[in-house]
């Protein structure tokens, strides 16, 4: 989890995409194997009356949406 205070969903998406790209270009060589990594990110925004539990559920739902749409992507909760 990354908290980005005073950040709009659009700006949070930019940050998440930068992280996603940085991870996706990372390679780890173990013996003769090159291992690559991917990240699926879900973004949720705090609004009045939303509990921490609701916020986490929204972000989790967005992560599963990213995974169902092919992984290695960023999705914003509706």
Residue 13's pLDDT is what? 96
State which H helix or E strand residue 36 sits in.
strand 33-36
pTM confidence score: 0.85
Neighbours of 25 (CB within 10 A): 9
Look at residue 23 and give its three-state secondary structure: helix
Residue 48's pLDDT is what? 87
State which H helix or E strand residue 42 sits in.
strand 41-43
Residue 75's pLDDT is what? 96
Q: What is the pLDDT of residues 56-65, one digit of tens each?
A: 999 999 999 9
Q: What is the pLDDT of residues 7-44, one digit of tens each?
A: 999 999 999 999 999 999 999 999 999 999 999 999 99
Domains and CATH numbers, the chain: 9-76 (3.30.70.270)
Count of positions (residues) in the chain: 78
Q: Distance between CA 53 and CA 44 in Å, rounded? A: 12
Q: What is the pLDDT of residues 46-57, one digit of tens each?
A: 988 999 999 999
CA angle, residues 4, 51, 63, in degrees to nearest 5:
55
């Amino acid at each position: 989890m990354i908290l980005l205070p005073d950040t709009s969903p659009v700006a949070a998406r930019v940050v998440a995409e930068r992280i996603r790209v940085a991870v996706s270009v990372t390679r780890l060589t173990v013996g003769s194997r090159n291992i690559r990594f991917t990240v699926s990110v879900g973004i949720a925004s705090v609004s009045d009356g939303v509990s921490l539990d609701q916020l986490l559920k929204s972000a989790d739902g967005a992560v599963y949406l990213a995974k169902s749409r092919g992984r290695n992507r960023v999705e914003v909760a509706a």
